[in-house]
Amino acid sequence: MRADGVAVKRRSPSLKRYRLDVSAQFYPIISTKKAQSLFRLSAETDAVVDPELLREAAERVLERFPTFKVRLRRGWAWYYFEENTAKVKVFPSTGKILLPIDVKQTDGYLFRIAYGEREISLEVFHAICDGMAAMEFLKALVWQYAVLSGARPEGNEGVIDLAETPSEEEAEDAFYRYYRPIRFGDIDLKGLMGEPPLLLPGTVAEEGYGAAYYEVEAAAVAGKAKQMGATFTTLVCGALAYTVEKVSGGKRPIVIMVPVNLRALFPSRTLRNFVNFVRLTFKPGENTSVADYVRSAAEQLRAGATKEEMEKFFATTVRTEKSLLMRVTPLWLKVLGARIGRFFLKSRQTMIFSNVGRVSLPKGCGLRRVLFNLNVSKTSKVNVGAVTFGEKTAVAFTRSIKERDLEEEFRRTMEGLGIPCAANEIC
């Protein structure tokens, strides 16, 4: 085992191997022990969680998700995944979220399943998959746990069929499937990077990340969004941008990065990464009211999330990976370049807002709510995730700073739109 936790022992030729998808290739290259690209999904349960039943449920579910049942290996030019035959572990909650994953503790697995008294959580390294795929895993885990605990879920609608053999399409790199060649001259690098954004002020917390969620009536948000000519996502983005302006101000643009699930535009059942980002930019002085910000968010997302624009965006990534330079550059040099580059690269966004949509599970699974927390960093100090379950939507803030001004002002902004927010602590 190397110092950074990546296994280097002799390989078994009988173990399955998977190349990382295009979107995932650079995650392990730029990651360190303290800075990993993680996200967290958690489910609040009606009953107290039994750790052993949860571990058994995880073992069964993992067999249906072979691209999760892997460990990270070093190749000559790129990292790759190799089948992991170790038993999966579950861990008691520490009361902190999104701590770096120590593969020595997880026996090589790049995700961590934990339990609280009435909570099941799944924290995932982004190289494995995106939030949509991880949600499929969490739903299957909650459903299987309910069955093992003696509950009687009303069927398995909305849950991946655990008796079904995993398909090749679920393991595909959908970026390559839909890739169309693009010339480097056609790449708008300046447009992709954008101008330097406003960065949120704040005192970095030394004791770990803070987190809270604000629960709203899903129907109230949808109704207000329709009234304003927006969607749920663009209403929240507009409200967030307006809130940042009120809390921070400044001469730089507010930039919110919004992940777009490409499965809606390019049909695929992949359980790996298949998202692209749309960059929403709000320049100083262009908007005044929250309605202005919502309108701008709606216009920008409609223009940026088209099939043509998304194809152009991910074609750039694929074209870069396929280049001769990337193919011949050894992995150690890529890692060294990434380490050096971290000192010079500037943040591309003020924050990220990701909405994984509505979670559907059969009645009888004993689930109260689901939360989605994004990782944060020294520059992207606050990120926001949303998920809808039943009649409620939980908008979860994760912060690396002590101050909570932004989220409290967001609550007041939403209530000013006639959408009551119930505040709840996570940690």
> What superfamily would CATH give domain 17-161?
Chloramphenicol acetyltransferase-like domain (3.30.559.10)
Distance between CA atoms of 248 and 234, rounded to whole angstroms? 21
Q: Say whether pLDDT at 135 is over 60.
A: yes
Identical fold at 17-161 and 180-425? yes
Domain extents in the chain: 17-161, 180-425
**Per-residue pLDDT for 189 more than 70?**
no
Q: Please name which of 230, 193, 231 lies closest in space to residue 345, comparing C-alpha atoms.
A: 193
Give pLDDT, residue 299: 98
Instruction: Compute the distance between CA of residue 230 and CA of residue 398 in angstroms, rounded to an integer.
Output: 25
CA–CA dist 174, 262 (Å, integer):
9
- CA-to-CA distance for 257 and 282, rounded, in angstroms? 11
Express as a percent the part of the chain with pLDDT over 90: 78
Q: Across the beta sheet with 119-125, what order do the strands follow?
A: 90-92, 111-116, 119-125, 38-45, 367-374
- For residue range 377-406, what is the model confidence (pLDDT) as tens digits? 888 999 999 999 999 999 999 999 999 999
Residue 337, pLDDT above cutoff 90: no
For the stretch 221-279, pLDDT in tens is: 999 999 999 999 999 999 999 999 999 877 899 999 999 999 999 999 999 999 999 99
pLDDT at 12 over 70: no
3-state SS, residue 241: helix
Virtual torsion, Cα 411, 415, 419, 424, nearest 10 deg: 30
pLDDT at 5 over 60: no
pLDDT at 3: 36
Residues 6+ apart with CB under 8 A from 3: none
Please give the helix or strand (H or E) that residue 45 lies within, else none.
Answer: strand 38-45
Q: DSSP letter at 108?
A: T
Mean pLDDT, residues 159-182 taken together: 94
Gap between the Cα atoms of 130 and 121, Å rounded: 16
Measure the CA–CA gap between 266 and 262, rounded to whole angstroms. Answer: 6
Spatial separation of the C-alpha atoms in residues 137 and 195, rounded to whole Å: 37
Q: Is the pLDDT of residue 121 over 60?
A: yes
- The residue whose two tokens read 């749309």 is 278
Query: What pLDDT was estimated at residue 186?
Result: 60
- Domain covering 180-425 in this structure, CATH number: 3.30.559.30
d(CA 317, CA 417): 39
* Element at 81 (helix H, strand E): strand 79-83
